[in-house]
Structure 1
């Protein structure tokens, strides 16, 4: 139990730390950051439940006002920004990534982590991100997809990184990849 709580806290901190990396704010109001890589790793390493809880803890800390989002943003105002869908989608995306990872035990870990990250960290996260963007900025689906499509190449790089990092962790410390335990 204590180990799970500690890992959830560590991975919430990982998502926060990835927000400290230099970010690029585009005109859309959605920054290019590495935080979605942290969400992917929550699922691929911790599994669905712990990964979802780690991302949920991160979102709760942001809601409490901690400036943990890319660019040092935090507080309830972040939930009125164009990124609201992505923020709210973090726990669901981490859960979905972990769920897919747990269902693909027969695949090599790097491939499974890549597939899980693509499904949870891109498809699921973008469902929420696109919906939030459309609601906050009153944009249509086509216009929103055109604006947010710029982020997909970077997210594909994050999928590859999540696969490689998870596979490397599994080689170094197999018991630490809880999504495969």
Structure 2
């Protein structure tokens, strides 16, 4: 007989991973952005945000990206273009920033529930990332444009749709990196695994 047990991680390791992925998101945000129509630039943040969830899982992925957003709101110049401070969260890109940790959490929750064989399939992880980006980042991003930039939903969609091709490419890269990490570190997510039940001494194994 067997039961399910969850692989446990050391709290110190968890904290280090959360901090490391928060730094990765910040680094991707500070790389040169591509300016397109509208107030929202194209950056590599989405790649790092979804990678955090796909590699760390829902809880740690959410915390890593939340740490990035909180640190930026506290004044560290780690948002796109070196911006920082609470004013950014009152600007037109606020919806995208709010959507980042939620997208990481959703992507992680989906990936955690994939069959183990699917973790080495880039297609499954790609779909998890693209769905999370659409539901959280793009939806809340457009809502932020409507609320903070006084746009109609149609105008916000016209701006947001520019990012979709880039998002597909970034999710392809994210899925390739995430599956490579899971091949190298199969217990990274702390998924449930089958473990044998303890048996009384002298009882023969089934």
Asked if 1:43 is matched to 2:19, the reply is no
Asked if 1:139 is matched to 2:151, the reply is yes
Deviation by residue 1:133-159 (Cα, 9 ceiling, x = unmatched): 110111111121111100100000011
Deviation by residue 1:68-88 (Cα, 9 ceiling, x = unmatched): 111111111111221100111
Partners in 2 of 1:107 and 1:123 — Cα distance? 25
Deviation by residue 1:23-46 (Cα, 9 ceiling, x = unmatched): 112231101000111110111000
Asked if 1:26 is matched to 2:36, the reply is yes
For structure 2, the residue ranges without an aligned partner over 5 or more in a row are: 1-10, 193-206
Q: Which protein has the bigger helix share?
A: 1
Number of the residue aligned with 1:68: 78
Asked if 1:151 is matched to 2:163, the reply is yes
Partners in 1 of 2:134 and 2:190 — Cα distance? 19
Greater Rg by CA: 2
* TM-score, normalised via structure 2 length: 0.82
* TM-score, normalised via structure 1 length: 0.93
Q: Is the 8 A contact 2:37 2:159 kept in 1?
A: no
Number of the residue aligned with 2:142: 130
CA pair 180-152 structure 1, distance change in 2 beyond 3 A: farther
Q: CA deviation at 1:124?
A: 1.7
Which secondary structure does the structure 1 equivalent of 2:82 belong to?
coil
Which secondary structure does the structure 2 equivalent of 1:95 belong to?
helix
Q: Which has the higher contact order (CA 8 A, sep 6+)?
A: 2
Q: Is the 8 A contact 1:45 1:178 kept in 2?
A: yes
Alignment: residue pair count: 180
RMSD, matched Cα? 1.5
